[in-house]
Structure 1
């Protein structure tokens, strides 16, 4: 089988090579995301895979169907980049990698929580000017003193909750789906109750109609003053204007984001600081805001699993088989 892999990154290439050698399938790499302009390049292939944060609009699926492609295997968790009605209308089957390494994102979320608690950004900036005093950053809190609301208790949220519990934090879980095994390390509750009790709020939900701008101004009005917010999920979950106001007023003690609604304008690119979106320029100047370039997933284990699972699913779907990773209507 011949597979076209869109938006390949260099770190994926060794795992692609190993998978091709192990399975006997041919993989051709294209270093740009799937788009209307390049969808027709799939014409001579049996299956395709991509990973990207840019949307795949409706015309793509018709082009793929006309080229004989029956599926798209996504090498990531979030599948809000698909136009689901258009894909299904053109009989294109879709899959994602729902669990390439939940621990990777959970560990990074914990890392950023510790950075906020220990005032790392303030100390780093002070030391860069020669100020090595304790007061430069301020006194820290310890994690066992915290109550953490984990909004979205799927694979990643559960992994994060287990880590927090092991460190002594009180963990509240907010999720429409109940999993009894999670009772060992968290307390399920409502969103309003969690917001009223939590010192830390961490998002681990997919982006959909229920979660888009979930954290709007009314959401921020319900949180405790001095709360910490973590978002390694999707930028559109949070109203960024409300976030900025909460950081400036002290309603939020700090926040760490790996995603933003406008990340396609600047992430995974090099810029002059003055070329960044204006809100990003303002936010990154704040001592209590941490922004990273959508790298929470970026570990060797995660990249290997993303490649292998997606390529295996590409073969299965192209051969009219079934995979647990298929995105259904």
Structure 2
């Protein structure tokens, strides 16, 4: 198997080298570039192309060129597949696979970390300490997790891991998903979307993104949530209307937000800046709030996850080349 892995990073490279060493018949080559119409020619001569990127692959030339090069498989080293143009996938008969199980627990643990940061009001505590104020003020009193109801929207692999962790800490966990998995009933109670929204003290999102659920959480939902509720979004930025979130926080319709993803993240995540003025206005507003914590799409970022992104995606690629069915096909 000869594969070209786009958007390679140093931490992934460790496991690419490991794969090449353990599979001498394979040749994994890498490029720092994202896959687009300008870089697709680098894939010529390879059996499979692999990507891990947040930039949309929406140019027809990419899919046309891959097909011309005889590449029938595009292997995503990530869970999300909203970067793909499915009209072109079908037109050029490409197979798409993803890596949905590289480490659900990594994202679940990040959701817990964000929730506890906000629940224990560390944002304001840190701000006070920066101002040399070490007084235990009345509004810094918090609650304990076992008194809370955690609501999960999207109870797939990541949502299930999240349910299990919060349940282990004593929280009541409720969830909503199109498919109700009986195996999760030890950790949560399934209910309808509106009931989750209205009853959650901590609302955490773990759904894939498709056009039908853009702005799934907006002004209406914020008004229905408890004013003491915390929103956690570890899934995709467009699930939440950012401007509506900002307004809800200003009006104290909810108590806080932990965001690993944002609608405008492509404009500044994974980049360095010299001035706050260079960043999107929405982020500038969120950054001023001590009841908001933002992480740069890094919930997945653990050693286990990075290793599995390479190993799972390349194992599927090898299966396809050998005429076997992939373990993680994506079909829309």
* TM category, shorter: over 0.9
Written as runs of structure 1 = structure 2, the 5 A alignment for 1:119-268 is 119-135=121-137, 138-268=140-270
Is 1:31 matched up with 2:43?
no
8 Å contact from structure 1 (residues 70, 318) kept in 2: no
8 Å contact from structure 1 (residues 49, 314) kept in 2: no
Match for residue 91 of structure 1?
93
Q: Residue 258 of structure 1: CA displacement?
A: 0.3
Secondary structure, counterpart of 2:196 in structure 1: helix
Q: What are the Cα deviations for residues 171-212 of structure 1, in whole angstroms up to 9, with x where unaligned?
A: 111001011111111110001111221111100000013321
Aligned length: 329
Match for residue 303 of structure 2?
300
TM-score in terms of structure 1 length = 0.97
8 Å contact from structure 1 (residues 75, 310) kept in 2: yes
Question: What stretches of structure 2 of length at least 5 have no aligned partner?
Answer: none
**In 1: Cα distance, 2:138 partner to 2:228 partner:** 19
8 Å contact from structure 1 (residues 120, 137) kept in 2: no
**In 2: Cα distance, 1:211 partner to 1:168 partner:** 30
Written as runs of structure 1 = structure 2, the 5 A alignment for 1:261-280 is 261-272=263-274, 273-280=276-283
TM-score in terms of structure 2 length = 0.96
RMSD over aligned Cα atoms: 1.2
Q: Residue 267 of structure 1: CA displacement?
A: 0.1
- Structure 1 runs (4+) greater than 6 angstroms displaced: none
Q: What are the Cα deviations for residues 109-145 of structure 1, in whole angstroms up to 9, with x where unaligned?
A: 0011000011111111211222111129711111011
Q: What are the Cα deviations for residues 136-171 of structure 1, in whole angstroms up to 9, with x where unaligned?
A: 971111101111110000010011101111111111
Aligned pair partner of 2:294 in 291, 294, 305: 291
Q: What are the Cα deviations for residues 72-93 of structure 1, in whole angstroms up to 9, with x where unaligned?
A: 1000001011111211210111
**In 1: Cα distance, 2:93 partner to 2:156 partner:** 29
Q: Residue 321 of structure 1: CA displacement?
A: 2.7
